[in-house]
Structure 1
Amino acid sequence: VMVVLDSDHSRDHVLDELRTYGPLVTQGQYIVVADTLLGYGEAPKTPTKRSKIWHPGDEPYAALTAYLKETDRFETDDVINGKLVLSSSPGG
């Protein structure tokens, strides 16, 4: 079982999804956290002309970082990340 998370991108929502769906992922498969790129931005450069604003620390990358500290079931796949020339989900 593989899971892709790409809905509400707030930290708490994504962290809740990771905690809920993480146990469903079978060994050797992936849980993909979309749009982790939002966590690499600087606060003054956060896009504000949108319906939802994800400030640094309240986005998918922050949730992923917190979740990886809670569990040893998952790790970032550096091989796949290294193959991605351009991604909206680095490390996710």
Structure 2
Amino acid sequence: MSNNNQETITSQIYHVQVIETDASIRCGLKPFTIYRLIIGSNQLQLKADHNNKDDDRLNVLFEWPYKYVRRYGYTSNSISFEAGSKCQTGEGLFIFHYQQY
């Protein structure tokens, strides 16, 4: 049996808040807003953290394909990466804070 929805199986979802950087400000991301950061098999995806029953794709704010991410890292409570100029957001540093439960 083949699975055409491989992205769903391999994705990790984090509820995050933005730590302000020049790039996050330029993209209009708000520091006290909760977002969903989805770490998929091909890209990072940022979604608004509310349920849209009509179509979940409408909640997608930004996507960062891995081939255009320059650097990345994480700690016990944050994920950061540097987007390249070919990313939808343009180049810049993005930092997201999350809490482990």
| Band the TM-score falls in, shorter-chain normalisation | under 0.3
Q: Which one has the bigger strand percentage?
A: 2
Structure whose residues are more often helix by fraction:
1
TM-score between the two structures when normalised by the length of structure 2: 0.23
> Which one has more relative contact order, counting CA pairs under 8 Å at least 6 apart?
1
TM-score by length of 1: 0.25
